[in-house]
Structure 1
Amino acid sequence: MLKAKIAELMHEPGCATNQAKSEGERKKGCGKSLTPGAAAGGCAFDGAKIALQPITDVVHLVHGPIACEGNSWDGRNSWSSGSDLYRKGFTTDLTNLDIIAGGEKKLYKAIKQAIARHNPPAVFVYQTCVGSLIGDDVDAVCRAATQRLGTPVIPINSPGFVGSKNLGNRLGGEALFEHVIGTVEPDDAGPCDINILGEYNVAGELDQFRPLLARLGIRLRASITGDARYREVAACHTARANMVLCSQALVTLARKMKEKWGIPYFEGSFYGISDTSDALRNIARMLVERGADPTLTDRTEALIAEEEAKAWARLEPYKARLAGRKVLLYTGGVKSWSVIQALQEVGMEVVGSSVRKATEADKSKALERLGGDEDKLADAITPRDMYAMFKDGKADMMLSGGRSQFVALKARTPWIDINQERHHGYAAYDGMVALVREIDLSINSPIWAQVRAPAPWENS
């Protein structure tokens, strides 16, 4: 069953790239299976865990050795406005003896203990390499536990050896579609309910655009999965529209929700002023098309005009200090193109963008915003080449994830974390101002002149 599920995910019909392929090419799939020792950057289990762990009120139980939970725990800085149960680590801690005797009884006992102690609305059970290789039937254990204990127990079949972190993201979305979404029927469905897919509330970014939606009378039925609650996700099939923030991770879920419940979707971004405004316009347009009050369109334009004016006024003092500064953007996914425009809007130049974790649609958008210069797009940049860019003055600073920071710092170049470990929210209008403020504090800090100057003994 898992093999068939992976084959289905590997030629997603909602992906524009797959639509352009021949039938034979589609059958080959679009992903690469991992080889032993090549899980750096995340395996399928890790991808499923970080995609679903932001559901804050459920028990996330890892069926595997304790190292699997230790390595994946709290891997994304997702904030919660309520329960902190998602921050607790749960694992069956499979040992050598369990590998010989099997771990199904131990798993059932762990599920029972977690429900008795925490009384969660659901338990998510993550299958790992070890449990899968010894043949533990996680699906059967979860079914039995659901029937006997009266609490939904959801199997997440994503052993690390089946593929990359992105495949794990999609397997997590499949688990939500098959076992969670549609299992709760709300009594308050409205004409302005939406879901946002691929939003993980990193550093509290959800609260940078959720108030904008509320001012327009738009209710966020569910964020999948940032700051989400189990019952919200279970009832999100009644929403009128879906917005997809990270299509590479959850476009399959968006497509299947459209097919089953008729929920249209579009891909957008809340990074940058223009992209935020476009996202609000698209949400309003889709809701009006589905029967919402037609005045929503005019109210949205009024809100956009007001918020853009305030944001540009707050950004004005920074523009002269940042104009012409060159940035290397080393990230992936939606940020590979959305952050480009955010930086260009304040006069900065993006000299390169990594598209190693981006879809073909992401790459096309990035290329368009870089003026069609393909030399500025790269799947990966070696540390040596990256270091040379900084030493030769081709880039004044870098925005990337934490693993790349040391190359920039070794070259005595400013660096800002733009990935999931960061502690600043950069979404919507307020987030754009926060991003520019952090860039200004970093790139114009007097420390760089000091660390680049010759040491006293070198002068003598």
Structure 2
Amino acid sequence: MSLLRAKIQDVFNEPGCEKNRGKDAKARKEGCSKPLTPGAAAGGCAFDGAKIVLQPITDVAHLIHAPLACEGNSWDNRGAASSGPALWRTSFTTDLTELDVVMGQGERKLFKAILEIKEAYGPPAIFVYPTCVTALIGDDIEAVCKRAAEKFGLAVVPVNSPGFVGSKNLGNKLAGETLLEHVIGTVEPDDAGPYDINILGEFNLSGEFWLVKPLLDRLGIRVRACIPGDARYVDIACAHRARAAMVACSTALINLARKMDERWDIPFFEGSFYGITDTSDALRNIAELLVKQGADPEILGRTELLIAEEEAIAWKKLAAYRPRLEGKRVLLNTGGVKSWSVVHALMEIGIEIVGTSVKKSTVEDKERVKQILKDDNHIFEQMAARELYTMLSEHKADILLSGGRTQFVALKAKTPWLDINQERQHPYAGYDGMVELVRQIDLAIQNPIWCQVREPAPWDCQPAVREELPRTKSETVTLHAVQEFSGTTAADFGEC
């Protein structure tokens, strides 16, 4: 645990983070969030954050050393996609019980589980995750992993990020430290070239990166490792031989990017593949970094030709949507890189941004939002569900772009909603992704269902006044019985 504590303090002292650099020495040691209480961090703990970063490594077996619920609550927690292996979607856990804890059988059970996975699946590596229970009882997973690696002849990697040590974002960074300590640099490639790059913090949600990789292929740029989206263990092990890197999500892996730059001279920049302009800028920055690292300058000209060609195609496709969407108002309730990149992308086609959240965004992200919107009134740290509902029900926005947690707020307010977070079903990266995003927004706003749900319900209509006809005695008795049963009156039986 002392090693883990030292690693956490090192992650807190992150020179690559503007927010961290602005703190005094005491505040810097406390990190971005207070340690969490064991058992009270479900859905946002360090274990969950580490699993998010490492699970998309598709040919690795991910073994959770914990009671069954820890794996059951975190399995398949993001919509990452694989172009090959599916082992990462198989759930492995030691299923620790109370008896195992009392009898001290945790380490023995873990070693046996590693052996079973090796014999049944033969993966290139097994990642082992402790959680609150196994960390608190003192199971030495590092010793078990080391012994298993020596005996079985494969990489067994301890991912030391039990949930109680901190937030999900801390878990992201601890996962990066794990890759740096146990994986990256352990394999030497025999095909390293001047056009090799790494993409860090790209999760390939809904296959988004597959819309960007063909652009890099056309430029002769090889992605040595995309960490973690659609990654292979050997690719990450060889990532130290890349010549440049792009960070797509700095809040998750800025520490990994900085330390790879320090150790192996791999310069990096933070960019985005959301939106036409940002995608073009990302391609330019990649080409420029490669040239600075010794690549042939002719790649700069080829990059500009590719950008001109792809932008022309994308703008031609978007022209059909501009008359339908220009002036439409969008409320964006997300965070991180999407707080500015998606904003910029939507404004390019004339959509008005009435608000964007900057929760989980870095200082640099917030500055970009301010530069793009030029109005702090449209920026909010966090908006409560009640405030969100009020804003939508008063028709201050034509559509809400957010994650699944707030979709029901939009539906209650009878406002179109589109999933922009990790659970989404459509890829939005690159030039084609931007066209798809605009198409989905158009489909949501123009859907005829909204005209219907906004109409008054039949039972809310004023009943028509009509002349009462004489009733027989039996008809009167029946009507009174119906009214008594349903709580209605005779006036309620009019027409809308």
d(CA) in 2 for partners of 1:350, 1:101? 59
Which of 80, 90, 93 does residue 91 from structure 1 map onto?
Answer: 93
If you compute each CA radius of gyration, which structure gives the higher value, 1 or 2? 2
1:201 is matched with 204
d(CA) in 2 for partners of 1:135, 1:376? 48
| Residues 272 and 341 in structure 2, CA contact (< 8 A), matched pair in contact too | yes
d(CA) in 2 for partners of 1:36, 1:121? 32
C-alpha deviation, 1:31, in angstroms? 2.6
**Pairing 1:401-412 to 2, within 5 Å after superposition:** 401-412=403-414
C-alpha deviation, 1:423, in angstroms? 1.1
Letter in 2 for 1:192: Y
2:427 is matched with 425
C-alpha deviation, 1:145, in angstroms? 0.3
Q: Deviation digits for residues 280-325 of structure 1, max 9, x if unmatched?
A: 0000000011111110001000000000000000000101111111
2:46 is matched with 44
Which of 219, 222, 233 does residue 230 from structure 1 map onto?
Answer: 233
| Residues 10 and 31 in structure 1, CA contact (< 8 A), matched pair in contact too | no
Question: Does 2:82 align with 1:80?
Answer: yes
d(CA) in 2 for partners of 1:80, 1:7? 34
> What percent of counterpart residues are identical?
63
Letter in 1 for 2:30: K
Question: Does 2:317 align with 1:314?
Answer: yes
Matched residue SS, 1:220: strand
Letter in 1 for 2:32: C
Which of 216, 219, 232 does residue 219 from structure 2 map onto?
Answer: 216
C-alpha deviation, 1:88, in angstroms? 0.4
| Residues 11 and 30 in structure 1, CA contact (< 8 A), matched pair in contact too | no
Question: Does 2:398 align with 1:413?
Answer: no
Letter in 2 for 1:387: Y
Matched residue SS, 2:305: helix
| Residues 38 and 132 in structure 2, CA contact (< 8 A), matched pair in contact too | no
Question: Does 2:398 align with 1:392?
Answer: no
1:118 is matched with 121
Matched residue SS, 2:317: helix
| Residues 237 and 257 in structure 1, CA contact (< 8 A), matched pair in contact too | yes
| Residues 44 and 159 in structure 1, CA contact (< 8 A), matched pair in contact too | yes
C-alpha deviation, 1:93, in angstroms? 0.5
Which of 329, 332, 354 does residue 351 from structure 1 map onto?
Answer: 354
1:360 is matched with 363
C-alpha deviation, 1:40, in angstroms? 5.1
1:444 is matched with 446
Q: CA RMSD in A?
A: 1.1
d(CA) in 1 for partners of 2:11, 2:139? 23
2:385 is matched with 383
| Residues 198 and 246 in structure 1, CA contact (< 8 A), matched pair in contact too | yes
Question: Does 2:263 align with 1:263?
Answer: no
Q: Deviation digits for residues 50-109 of structure 1, max 9, x if unmatched?
A: 110000001000010111111111110111000000000000011101111230000000
Structure 2's unaligned 5+ residue stretches are 462-495
Letter in 2 for 1:148: K
2:473 is matched with none
**Pairing 1:62-73 to 2, within 5 Å after superposition:** 62-73=64-75
d(CA) in 2 for partners of 1:181, 1:205? 24
Matched residue SS, 2:320: helix
- TM-score normalized by structure 1? 0.98
| Residues 331 and 355 in structure 1, CA contact (< 8 A), matched pair in contact too | yes
Matched residue SS, 2:350: coil
TM-aligned CA distance change 1:34 to 1:367, over 3 Å: farther
- TM-score normalized by structure 2? 0.91
Letter in 1 for 2:383: I
d(CA) in 2 for partners of 1:138, 1:268? 36
Structure 1 window deviating more from structure 2 (21-30 vs 413-422): it is 21-30
Question: Does 2:4 align with 1:2?
Answer: yes
Letter in 2 for 1:220: V
